[in-house]
């Protein structure tokens, strides 16, 4: 039921864009900001899969930002109503930008990928706006995912970029690659490669960022 309502809100945003929106300056800024953010994400974490075309982000009344494949190989990010302010828009876009690097289908993201999304969004917003977001307020497994990724990247922020030379899809980076190539401790590698939705024995009622 929650998923159905969220989907209706996404479709409503599309309709409003074509029917009711007169001032589209913020929409254009969202696209410019996404491209700027993606440049930085690619510099840190490696190139995105350019077989996907990026469409202009849209603001919705959904509770959670999410990226959708709206038609074959065409991706659009749907943001929450908080994204009407630039700092929150940048935060949501930065998180989604990580998923745009190597899109996977709903429910397939690992703790590594979701943690990287939170890590990068915090880093970007702190530098651009001077805002520190409290990871403790994040629901479900985002807090543990962020802590695990922060530990992973503490000594080498470009480690994901190096790992993606071997495995381009972030959520397919496995324990063996982390241990043998990156020298990660087995316990940390196991946590990073765990399924985000079911980590810790619970299943999320929604998923933040994948199509």
**Does 211 fall in a domain?**
no
Q: Is residue 89 located within the same domain as residue 139?
A: no
Q: Is residue 3 located within the same domain as residue 99?
A: yes
Is the separation of the CB atoms in 79 and 179 below 8 Å?
Answer: no
pLDDT of the residue at 64: 82
pTM assigned to the model: 0.87
pLDDT of the residue at 154: 97
Domain that holds residue 157: 109-201
**Does 191 fall in a domain?**
yes
Give the domain-ending residue among 50, 78, 103. Answer: 103
Q: Is residue 64 located within the same domain as residue 33?
A: yes
pLDDT along the chain (211 residues), means of 10: 54 59 81 98 98 94 85 93 94 96 85 97 96 75 95 97 98 98 97 94 48 30
User: Based on the structure, what is the number of domains in the chain?
Assistant: 2
Find, among 104, 129, 106, 110, the residue nearest to 37 by Cα. 129
Sign of the CA dihedral with 156 first, then 159, 160, and 161 last = positive
Find, among 40, 143, 125, 36, the residue nearest to 88 by Cα. 125
Q: Is residue 127 located within the same domain as residue 94?
A: no
**Does 210 fall in a domain?**
no
Q: Is residue 96 located within the same domain as residue 171?
A: no
d(C-alpha 113, C-alpha 209), whole Å: 10
Give the domain-ending residue among 42, 77, 103. Answer: 103
CATH of the domain at 29: 3.30.2010
Q: Is residue 119 located within the same domain as residue 76?
A: no
Give the domain-ending residue among 49, 78, 103. Answer: 103
Q: Is residue 129 located within the same domain as residue 99?
A: no
CA 71 to chain centre: 19
| In the block, residue with structure tokens 């800024």 | 29
Q: Is residue 4 located within the same domain as residue 87?
A: yes
pLDDT of the residue at 184: 97
d(C-alpha 183, C-alpha 151), whole Å: 13
Task: Encode burial over 178-205: b for 16+ CB neighbours within 10 A, e otherwise.
Answer: beeebebeeebbebbbbebbebeeeeee
Q: Is residue 145 located within the same domain as residue 163?
A: yes
d(C-alpha 180, C-alpha 166), whole Å: 12
Q: Is residue 151 located within the same domain as residue 87?
A: no
């Amino acid at each position: 039921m929650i998923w159905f309502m969220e989907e209706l809100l996404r479709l409503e945003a599309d309709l409003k864009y074509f029917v009711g929106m007169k001032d589209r300056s913020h929409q254009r800024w969202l696209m410019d900001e996404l491209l700027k953010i993606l440049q930085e994400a690619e510099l840190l974490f490696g190139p995105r899969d350019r077989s996907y075309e990026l469409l202009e982000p849209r603001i919705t009344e959904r509770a959670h930002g999410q990226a959708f494949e709206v038609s074959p190989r065409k991706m659009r990010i749907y943001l929450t109503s908080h994204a009407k302010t630039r700092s929150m828009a940048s935060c949501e876009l930065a998180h989604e930008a990580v998923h745009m690097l190597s899109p996977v289908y709903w429910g397939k993201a690992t703790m590594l990928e979701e943690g990287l999304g939170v890590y990068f969004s915090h880093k970007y917003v702190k530098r651009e706006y001077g805002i520190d977001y409290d990871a403790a307020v994040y629901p479900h497994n985002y807090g543990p995912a962020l802590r695990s990724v922060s530990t992973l990247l503490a000594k080498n922020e470009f480690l994901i970029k190096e790992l993606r030379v071997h495995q381009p899809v972030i959520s397919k980076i496995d324990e063996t690659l982390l241990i043998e190539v990156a020298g990660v401790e087995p316990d940390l590698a196991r946590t990073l490669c765990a399924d985000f939705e079911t980590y810790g024995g619970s299943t999320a009622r929604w998923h933040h960022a994948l199509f």
